[in-house]
Amino acid sequence: MYTIDVNASRPYRMLIGTFLLEKTGEIAREVNRGARALIITDDNVGPLYAAPVSESLEAAGYRCAVATFPAGEEHKRAGTYIDLLERAAVEELDRADLIVALGGGVVGDVAGFVAATYMRGIDFIQIPTTLLAMVDSSVGGKTAIDLAAGKNLAGAFWQPRAVLADVGCLGTLTDAQFADGCGEVVKHAMIADADLFGELESTPLTPELLKRDLARVAWLVARNIDIKRAVVEADEREGGLRKLLNFGHSIGHGVEAAEGYRLGHGTCVAIGMVAIASSAVTAGALAEDVPARLAALLEAHGLSLAFHVDAESVFAEALHDKKRTGDAIELVIPREVGGAALARTPLDEFRRILEVGLACTRQLSSPSTKED
């Protein structure tokens, strides 16, 4: 088991290993002394893992309840959030009690926002069950719901009391769900760790690796968490450095929305990363071979670079991005493998970057994933 301490405004410990679900109650009691716990999960994850987590919490002395909502990004909305707040009140949770977020990124974001705002903030624990949530959304205290105008437009910074990343849960993911998390793994390597990028080129993080070498998967998850930990500690509230973690996201979120959310988040971020890298090459800011290396690495991790929307549609959706202020948007521009920089970019220039980058991404997409 790996242990990573996050020294944020509210310090907490992240545990990465196996058989952690059964230790939830024990770990919870180290950071919380309440009488009640509300597990928030979705209807995919709940049937798989709510029982052992609930049993562990009850064994530790909690009166435990489970609140389940429908799975999917389309349910990361105000209605779900309000329903869960009402459920917390019905269960008579008080300020000493605990919320447990059990699931992927949507569950973690919504449950964390409930915890941040119920009674002006109560303790919560993250139990991410997807690779994407383990290496990204469970780290750093960002919580949110989506609004009609865009993703994550209502939320709060609220650090968990602990994070339990049980890599055994990854065995129940589909290949597509597993690949979706690999987009963030490659992103971390691209902006902060050239050695990790090279290691992933040699040995991709795939479902096959999960089957034959769970220990290496746990190590890779821990390494990614440590990359994000360092960024969060340096810039918890995203005033500067933490914005580097948005590499590929402005374009990726635009693709995601323009495609009607039919593509996975990791896939859309992958498209965004290759697009912005390709545009950086045309501007003379990045070596010419990097976009092709990046595209090949993403596709080796099962991420398609195929999309069916045009640049104008993506641009229209990207205008709702939180990183836009007035007539400019802040982009993360790769300078080399393992390094990137922030650039405040006028919207007309961003439109050009989109057009050039998405055109190059189509060309770099492998023949098997190109659109008809």
Phi, psi of 154 (to 5 degrees): -125, 125
- The answer to whether 265 is a known catalytic residue is yes
Task: Tell me which of 76, 229, 243, 253 is the catalytic residue.
Answer: 253
Predicted local distance difference test score (pLDDT) of residue 79:
98
* Residues 209 and 125 placed together within one structural domain of the fold: no
Q: Is 161 a catalytic residue?
A: no
Does the active-site annotation cover 152? no
Relative to beta strand 123-128, strand 142-147 is: unpaired
Residue 348 resides in a domain: yes
Strands 63-69 and 36-42: parallel
Task: Specify whether 75 is catalytic.
Answer: no
Give the pLDDT of residue 369. Answer: 53
The CA-based dihedral angle spanning residues 160, 72, 156, 102, taken in that order and rounded to the nearest 10 degrees: -10
Give me the amino acid identity at 113. F
pLDDT at 1 over 60: yes
Indicate the residue among 123, 143, 172 that finishes a domain.
Answer: 172
Q: DSSP letter for 368, please.
A: G
**Do the domain assignments include residue 223?**
no
Q: What's the pLDDT tens digit per position in 330-340? A: 999 999 999 99
Q: CA 295 → CA 61, 183, 197, distances in Å? A: 50, 11, 12
Q: Is the pLDDT of residue 192 over 70?
A: yes
Judge if 360 and 340 occupy the same domain.
yes
**219 domain residue, yes or no:** no
Residue 103: inside a domain: yes
Please tell me whether residues 147 and 257 are part of one structural domain: no
What whole-number distance in Å separates Cα of residue 295 and Cα of residue 270? 8
Q: What is the pLDDT of residues 57-85, one digit of tens each?
A: 999 999 999 999 999 989 999 999 999 99
Instruction: Assess whether 272 and 187 both reside in one domain.
Output: yes
Domain with 203 in it: what CATH number?
Answer: 1.20.1090.10
Residue 220 domain-assigned (yes or no): no
Can you name the residues that pair with 14 across neighbouring β-strands? 4, 163
d(CA 301, CA 285): 26
Share of the chain above pLDDT 90, in %: 92
Q: Is 320 tagged catalytic?
A: no
Shared domain check, 161 and 74: yes
370 classed as catalytic = no
Question: Residue 211 catalytic?
Answer: no
Q: What mean pLDDT comes out for the span 298-322? A: 94
Q: Do 75 and 199 have their domain in common?
A: no
Round to whole Å and give the CA distance between 207 and 177.
Answer: 10
Q: Do both 194 and 164 map to the same domain?
A: no
Whether residues 124 and 239 share a domain: the answer is no
Q: Classify the C-alpha dihedral 83-89-90-92 as positive or negative.
A: positive
**Active-site residue, selected from the candidate residues 23, 246, 256, 301:** 246
In the residue annotation, 91 being an active-site residue is answered as no
Claim to verify: residue 141 and residue 195 sit in the same structural domain? no
Among 23, 36, 161, 184, which one carries the catalytic annotation?
184
Residue 242: count of CB within 10 angstroms of its CB: 18
Round to whole Å and give the CA distance between 47 and 93: 23
Element (H, E) at 3: strand 2-6
The catalytic position among 161, 187, 243, 249 is 249
Where does the pLDDT of residue 282 fall: very low under 50, low under 70, confident under 90, or very high at 90 and above? very high
pLDDT at residue number 93:
98
Domain check: are 33 and 144 in the same one? yes
Cβ-based neighbours of 87, under 8 Å, separated by 6 or more = 38, 65, 67
Residue 68 sits in a domain whose CATH number is 3.40.50.1970
- Tell me if 131 sits within 8 A of 170, measured CB to CB: yes
Q: Is residue 240 part of a domain?
A: yes
Domain count, the chain: 2
Indicate the pLDDT class of residue 149, thresholds 50, 70 and 90. confident
pTM of the model: 0.92
Q: Which of 87, 265, 301, 322 is catalytic?
A: 265
**Catalytic, out of 36, 161, 188, 238:** 238
Domain around 26: 2-172
Is there a domain that residue 150 lies in?
A: yes
Same-domain status, 143 and 192: no
200 and 144 belong to one structural domain: no
Domain assignment present for residue 226? The answer is: no
pLDDT (0 to 100) of residue 324? 87
- Classify 136 as helix, strand or coil: helix
Is 15's pLDDT higher than 70? yes
Q: pLDDT-based confidence at 368, cuts 50/70/90?
A: low
